[in-house]
Amino acid sequence: MNVRSTESIQSCVKSLDRSDILVNNAGLYLLGPVSDLQLDDTRNLFEVNVFSQLAVTQAFLPLLLGSPRAMIVNNISSGSPAALPFQGTYKASKAALAMYSASLRLELQPFGTDLRTGMVHSNLVENHAGRDDKLRLPATSIYAPAAHIGEKFMRYGIAVKSEPADVWAKGTVGDILKKNPPPLIWRGGSA
């Protein structure tokens, strides 16, 4: 479904008779110094990484309330609590989702689980890295004198071993389907 479209979300909800587990997994990645990011790109990031998660959760909640095994899983970066250069806006969006998810757990106990995903070999980073225009510092950047270092960091980040997606998925599903799933699930490289 298109998580930015109310019609798409409602269409998905209407196609189901019931729902036991909702996994909010949609997400965008945005790199760059906070001082250089375009506000429209930042708004788009928060729209997908935070506000769409709220919209999907609210839409699915009536179905979930009818399930004896209801669970809401929000996929939050394992790195959300840690600041890194050129990842401030991405991390801020994930930290916002973490706080929303923690509040949701209190309000809908025991529905909520945070999935703190580390590095997983997926298309998230590759989709972003494939957009060379998003991995260049503007000529006006305060970091322009050291652009070669900043751009290298934006392309390659910190050397962290990625976990294969199928290994991550199998472990995650196993954790979610436990009789008493944990409120925090840590999966992926360096999680």
Give the residue numbers marked as catalytic: 90, 94
DSSP annotation of 49 reads: I
DSSP annotation of 136 reads: S
List the helix and strand counts (H, then E) for the chain: 7, 6
CB 9 within 8 A of CB 59: yes
Q: Could you give the CA distance from residue 44 to residue 51 in angstroms, rounded to a whole number?
A: 10
Q: Could you give the CA distance from residue 182 to residue 184 in angstroms, rounded to a whole number?
A: 5
Q: Residue holding tokens 């729902």? A: 19
Q: How far is CA 97 from the centre of its chain?
A: 8
Q: Could you give the CA distance from residue 98 to residue 47 in angstroms, rounded to a whole number?
A: 15
